[in-house]
Amino acid sequence: MSGVLNSLLGAKAGNISPLSAEFLVVAGGGGGGTRQAGGGGAGGVLAGTGFSPVKGTLYSISIGGGGAGGSVNSSPGGNGGNSVFSIYTAVGGGGGGQYQDNGLNYNGVAGGSGGGGASRTPTNGSGGGATGGQGNTGGSGSGTNDWGGGGGGGQSGNGGQRSGSDGGNGGGAYNSSITGTSTYYAGGGGGGVGSGGSFGYGGNTTTAAQKGGATDGVLGTNGNPPSNAGSNTGGGAGGNRAQSIQDSASGGSGIVVIAYSNLYADLTVGAGLTYTSSTSSRPGFKVYTFTSGSDTIKWN
C-alpha cells in the first residue's frame, strides 16, 4: 500500500515519467481580395502527439495574425502571420487575388493554404500554392466576363474553382478535439462574385459551425463587404464582389494549443503571451490555449 501511495504522491508532485504533450499550431488565415476576388487561403496547420519536453527548457510560442484584406485596385489580400511552437512553424495563409485594370495581382498568393484566383479577362487568375503537409491550393478564377473568383484553400481540401459567375467554395476545415471540444480550424475563404452570381461558401460546408472561421464571399451592393474571419481560427476571409470600391476583409488569427496529463506541474508562461488554462475542459488533461502574443513557456 505504501508503494502505491508514494507513487501517487510522486505523480501529484509532477515527478512521473515520461512527460508527453499534444499540440496544435494554426497560423493566421489570408485576407480576401477585393473586386471579383478570390477567397483567402487558410493558415497552415501542424498537429501531433508524443512531444517530449525537457523540464526547465524554454520553448518559443508565437501566434500569427490574420492577413489584411486587399486594397481596391492596389494589392491582393495579405498573407496571414506564421504561428510557432518549439521547432514547429505553421505558415500563414495566402491572400486572395483580385481583378485589376493594370493586370497585376489577380493570382492567389501562396501560403499555408493558397488564396483563390480572381476573375480576370482573358486569363484565369490561378490559385496560390500550399505548404506541403499544412494545407491545400486555392481555386482558380474565371477567365471570362463571368466574374467568379476561386475559393481559398483549406487544411483538408483545395479551394473550389469558380463556376460561371459563381464564386468557388473555400477548401475544407480541420477538425480537432485537443481542447475537449470538437472545433473546426483553417477553412478557406469563399470566392467573390459578379452581378447575378452566387458567392462561394467558406470552410467545409454551408453549416456555420463547420466553416472553420472562414467567411463567405459577397454578392451585394457596394457598402456590403465581407466580414472578417473569426479570431483564433486561422480561417481565410471571403473575396469581395464585382466593382467593389472597398477594401476587403481580414483573415482569422491563429492559435496554439498544448495538452498534457494533469498529473504534471503547471507551465511557466512568459508575460508576452495571452492564454487560458483549464483542467476541466478535457478530463485528465491540462489544456493551455494561446491566443495572441510571442514569448516562451517552460515545463517545471
User: Could you write out the DSSP letters of every residue in the chain?
Assistant: -HHHHHHHHHHHTT--S---EEEEEEPPPPPPPSSS-PPPPPPPEEEEEEE-PPTT-EEEEE-PPPPPPPBTTTB-PPPPPPEEETTEEEPPPPPPP---TTS-S-SPPPBSSPPPPPP-SSSPPPPPPB-TTT--PPPP--SSTT-PPPPPPBTTBPPPPPBTTBPPPPPPPEEE-TTSS-EEE-PPPPPP--TT--PPPPSSSSSGGGSTT------S-TT-PPPPPPTTS-PPPPP--TT--S--PPPPP-EEEEEEETTSPPEEE-TTEEEEEESSSSTTEEEEEEEEEEEEEEE-
- The pLDDT of residue 195 is 66
Cell of 194: 459578379
**Predicted model pTM:** 0.90
pLDDT tens for 102-146 read 667 889 999 999 999 988 767 788 999 999 999 999 999 877 666
pLDDT tens for 228-279 read 899 999 999 988 876 656 678 899 999 999 999 999 999 999 999 999 999 9
Residue 1 scores a pLDDT above 50: no
Residue 220 scores a pLDDT above 60: no
Enumerate residues 6+ apart whose C-beta is below 8 A from 165: 142, 146, 147, 148, 193, 194, 195, 196, 197, 198
More confident site: 13 or 253: 253
- Give the number of residues written for the chain: 300
Task: For residue 58, report the phi and psi dihedrals to the nearest 5 degrees.
Answer: -85, 135
For 24-36, what is the mean pLDDT? 92
When mean pLDDT is compared across 27-36, 156-165, 270-279, the lowest value belongs to: 156-165
Residue 84 scores a pLDDT above 70: yes
Cell of 157: 481540401
Which of 2, 24, 4, 26 lies closest to 260, judged by CA? Answer: 24
Residue 2 scores a pLDDT above 50: no
State which of 41-45, 72-76, 249-253 shows the largest mean pLDDT: 41-45
More confident site: 41 or 215: 41
When mean pLDDT is compared across 37-51, 56-70, 82-96, 189-203, the lowest value belongs to: 189-203
More confident site: 167 or 78: 78
Percentage of residues in the chain having pLDDT higher than 90: 60
Q: How confident is the model at residue 72 (pLDDT cuts 50, 70, 90)?
A: confident
List 176's β-bridge partners, or say none: 183
